[in-house]
Structure 1
Amino acid sequence: MAAQNKLSGEAVDVAVAGIDDSNVASLRCQKDNRECILDLTTQGNWVQVIIERPNTSEIIPDKTQARDRILEIGATIVSNLKAAAG
């Protein structure tokens, strides 16, 4: 639970599938979950993924769902970069 509290603006180290120990990934989300940013390095590349919620009245996922989605996107990017590197 402490890690989720840190997501409110502070960068937190996170695990992203496919990233080895020599690379890093960090995640930060605004308190209202309007925007989450994932920064990662892999295969000599720095990648930043940003998820921003539109300003609508639709049902909004909670912070945990947004975090899971951005980590899935990060894992897909890592997989694609590794495949491209051969």
Structure 2
Amino acid sequence: RCRKLSVQLGFEKVLLKNDTLKCFFVSNPDSPYFQSETFTGILQFLQKGTNKAKLKQVGKNGILVVDDVKTMSALFEFLTRMHKSIA
């Protein structure tokens, strides 16, 4: 369920390790995804929805990092809230 939601949100890879969630955006920086409503919705969700998340850039890859995500159910809840705020 988490993988399906993360793909719908446009993440290539999702990693939960040491209570930290890392969601990797599409690796092509020129991708039309970054002009899409989905990406804009994610940015708006991050601005008003949570203060645990931050955006990072490592090389050409954009990463959404969320602290204090301890379980898979917390991961699913976070992705669900993000998906509902965009839809």
TM-score of Structure 1 vs Structure 2, range by shorter chain: 0.3 to 0.5
User: Quick check: which one's helix share is greater?
Assistant: 2
Report the TM-score when normalising by structure 2: 0.39
Question: Of the two structures, which has the highest relative contact order with CA contacts closer than 8 Å and spacing of 6 or more?
Answer: 2
TM-score normalised per structure 1: 0.40
